[in-house]
Structure 1
């Protein structure tokens, strides 16, 4: 059985966790409560990346207050507290790299009664639901509180399981069969947990293939299959190499997903794949963050799946007879592409070199590496590509991007085949001759012209402070310029760009003060810089002055000699 650890004292070396035989970390995204100083509350984005680089899955948990502490238990704060903590949890979860489609588990870390649940705790979870939605809300607690949360429909479900993490504490011999996690070892002074990298940890049994880990894309409906962990030691580090391709393979034998996995787990055999698949059973042999031993020098940038029991010599009829497995392989490929940010394009014979989903023969013919010819000449690429397109379309972005492009003729010719996932695994984008279209489920699809994209790229695209675009670009008259100016709103502010000049980002208190002064038509004119750090605050330069901000104070000055003239706020 696969296990996960949880801990709060300090950030434990991910490599030590993996070496101890665990496959996941249940990571806190809540801050330390007043008077406490937990080194692992909350985790950081760098630590989350280190966990995934070590092949470990990550799950988000929230626990701020404590029974008997001046900061009360979270569940006692009712609906308003649940809504407030849901907002805090989501913001931190996203900031450290958690995807929007992954659940967050909220702790009920004491032996509450049904009366306490009905009077207060259930309202706390309804407050969380108001922010995250039921599908992204999970619970930690004893067997009964998990059951109550499931029965009152305040936690999400995946198949026969729910986002319930049962602790052994206060549960006695009871087990909640719908839970995805079971905290079997609880570190206490009387019964210390195992020591990893000098720190004691709790140990949790993983009871379902989907236990809330960040790595799974839940934005589309998965085909029915059983995913099992058969992790071994046949792998290498990717050494920071970006993944660009998902590769399909044949076994050239009669194995099952599990028997092939067992063979691959012997490092002496010198071969491995990330996944083996047969009869709707998917075995995970190597975590995607590590390189399998599949395609020689292409290992560092590929994810590899082998159809157990398959052969290069199969006819088209033999391949289409396992259509259910073809659909599962397509789903896993799209899931992987969205997770790592590479293209979902299907690259079939005659091959072209590029990002996307393909087979071992692509590595031979297009990349010139090795001599393999699987998956063979009769593989039904048209059927498989149809499955991939269905899962890509299921994310919602493709049709929205197409619709926006159709309404935006200035974009010109499309350069991207289909759409590409953004780094968070949720959004999508496509490139056109004169700009891009970015889509996110909370902002819809909006076109960004190339002139604005330069500033967007400088600020790290959607991963940076601008976030996603929230409106179409607008043209602004500029009597003092050489042509119309452009402005585009994003989640984190607005980019203004005069013709022939760089774009600048205006936001926050300085943006509000500039707006009060009349935007570009006011006494300060157009922005001519981004914000610049200054003493204890920042300032931003405009054509005819500056706006200074320090905590709780903002001053606008117009250039008028020495000293400059403070601008009065409009009445």
Structure 2
């Protein structure tokens, strides 16, 4: 069994850790709390590279506050605290080289009760989920808190395991079988842990092949399929119900995805599904925001997909013969779960009641509604669950994660994500903006006010490229409200309240920065760059900046002629 160490006092020589027989370091992405001065909090990019060079895996952990300290335990700060700390954790994690597709473990470093979990701690983790997504949220704690986190679906799952790191403290003899890590040796003043490079460490057993290490490729290609809209009248309101399950169905007939959709679109037939699927053709019959007519009184809280041409009597071999469609169904289920915030757990026979992905028979046997038995006894749940686990970690879900962390976006307008023309990026439209994702830039939300300029310049295919940061509000004492700025690969868009947005970049952007941005002598941008003789210039509120090769000149409007601005010292 391989082992990992965790420590906070100082950065320990990576070669010494490897020589001691350990294979990984559980590294803090949290800063030292006030009054403390831990040398290993947070990890640095340089140290992370040194660990990798020594052949050591790295896993990210967060703990800021501590019981009995002036800074309260993290879990006591509730939803807002979880969201705030997750934003800081993710920022540090990415800045030091951690991949987006890796969990961050958040510590519950004391013996909390079930009442404390239900009243406060679970809300802290839901706040973390709003930033990281459930799939990338992990927990450290005693055996019971790990089990509660799994039960409440606030930590991610990887096959038979979950992102839980159990400590021996307060656990007694209990072991959480779904944990990926177990803290077996705990360094205390009365019982010091092993000494490595002059520093005592905690020792953890690695229990799963994927325990959250940075260098593991968790990306999975999105399956190729054609999605058609054949929306019809066979639906009802959800009446405010929260969606909790994605359900699979068989047709018990020989239809295609499109012929079955046509049948469903006749309200007289009294049945419908959100999706039909066959031979990589997906037909959308009912928007997910509405209830389909699929599972009687379970309709308000379910999303339903039917495999066209399928039957309950199919053998396992018959199901495996449509493996591509199984993968597509798994992807659609995960896409829906991330969109609406329910679990991607696969609930297979022998069922239990809960959020997740199941079939029509789940409604019959677990919920006691109706008599249907599809998708049948030979459905390959093991294969399907493997696809779900893989797609639950695909990068395009970062769009859903960013949307959850940006409630100002409002209602979603795009059903899922759309591919950008380069075939690499993805985007989704919302009521008050868009979210764009690319593997090199991650996902960022663009408000409508900035989006107008982005569209004018050709979206991601234009000179701006993809967004690389979230937008910022800029106070404007001379204006009618705060302005906006957002940085892209090819420059920054600035938009003053009530005015058009303009792109600032390159040498002119650097000169404007040196002059103090919008608060400086030149004020706000008043145009894009304009071609002039052998160079370009750009208008600003109180002047211009001219650029020709190897020369740049900033002028402030002050009559005729204008006054050159001196460069800052």
In the superposition, the TM-score normalised over structure 1's length comes to 0.49
In the superposition, the TM-score normalised over structure 2's length comes to 0.49
